[in-house]
């Protein structure tokens, strides 16, 4: 799914974005970006042969509603969109953009609500947070039948290995030391 890329860099700042453009990996996630930077980032990523996955719920200056989903899907056209919102995921899928449902392991109610959303929307992938609970990587995959990306609280090389061994297809992290440790 991610061309064998086990660690997907997650960028929070423009300096991180510029580092990612120089790396060998194809995929990266954009977190906490201002709407005014999206078009420039998309252009630079495409020129560098990179596939940008955009966390839609964290785009500053953009409300996470149907109109935002249409704007992102039709104007920005990232390779993937991460969201907790049904409309955002549905519209991404409709526009042939990888729809990644972000699922938080808060409690049983949150988990069941997320399962219901997954059944309703049928995202392409689940991003599970925190990604350091291997038994839940397996449980969520078994419940949904979807590929899992582990994210959140991934702080050491062992965290990455354990998540992959538990069945995660990849791990997202903003930790640059882990980007280096698992360089493509």
For 30-46, the pLDDT digits (tens) are 999 999 999 999 999 99
Concatenating the DSSP letter of every residue in 98-109 gives EEEEEEE-S-HH
- The band of 183, judged by pLDDT with boundaries at 50, 70 and 90, is confident
State how many domains the chain has.
1
Distance from chain centroid for Cα 176 = 16
Burial status of residue 75 (CB atoms within 10 A of its CB: 0-12, 13-18, 19 or more): exposed
**pLDDT at 64 (0 to 100):** 84
Percent of the chain topping pLDDT 90: 98
Is 1 within the bounds of a domain? no
CA–CA gap between residue 154 and residue 10 (Å, rounded): 12
Is 96 within the bounds of a domain? yes
**Residue environment code for 78-91, b if the CB has 16+ CB neighbours within 10 A, otherwise e:** bbbbbbbbbbbbbb
CA–CA gap between residue 39 and residue 77 (Å, rounded): 9
Note the pLDDT tens digit of each residue in 52-82.
Answer: 999 999 999 999 899 999 999 999 999 999 9
pTM: 0.96
Q: Which of 12, 16, 27, 24 is nearest to 169 (CA)?
A: 27
Is 141 within the bounds of a domain? yes
Question: Which residues have C-beta within 8 Å of that of residue 38, sequence separation ≥ 6?
Answer: 54, 59, 72, 76
For residue 141, pLDDT beyond 90? yes
CA–CA gap between residue 178 and residue 170 (Å, rounded): 12
CA–CA gap between residue 37 and residue 18 (Å, rounded): 13
Is 2 within the bounds of a domain? no
**pLDDT at 1 (0 to 100):** 84
The CATH number covering residue 59 comes to 3.20.20.70
CA–CA gap between residue 16 and residue 25 (Å, rounded): 14
What is the domain range of residue 174? 7-181
Is 36 within the bounds of a domain? yes
For residue 184, pLDDT beyond 80? no
Q: Is the peptide bond before 145 cis (omega within 30 degrees of 0)?
A: no
Is 95 within the bounds of a domain? yes
């Amino acid at each position: 799914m991610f061309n064998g890329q086990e660690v997907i860099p997650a960028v929070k700042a423009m300096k991180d974005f510029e580092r990612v453009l120089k790396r060998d990996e194809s995929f990266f996630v954009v977190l906490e970006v201002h709407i005014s930077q999206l078009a420039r980032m998309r252009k630079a990523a495409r020129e560098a042969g990179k596939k940008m996955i955009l966390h839609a719920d964290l785009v500053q200056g953009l409300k996470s509603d149907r109109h935002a989903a249409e704007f992102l899907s039709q104007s920005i056209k990232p390779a993937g969109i991460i969201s907790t919102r049904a409309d955002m995921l549905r519209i991404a899928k409709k526009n042939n953009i990888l729809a990644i449902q972000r699922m938080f392991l808060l409690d049983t109610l949150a988990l069941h609500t997320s399962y219901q959303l997954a059944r309703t929307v049928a995202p392409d992938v689940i991003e599970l947070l925190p990604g350091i609970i291997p038994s839940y990587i397996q449980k969520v995959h078994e419940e949904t039948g979807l590929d899992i990306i582990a994210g959140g609280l991934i702080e050491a090389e062992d965290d990455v290995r354990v998540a992959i061994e538990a069945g995660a297809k990849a791990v997202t992290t903003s930790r640059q030391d882990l980007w280096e440790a698992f360089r493509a």
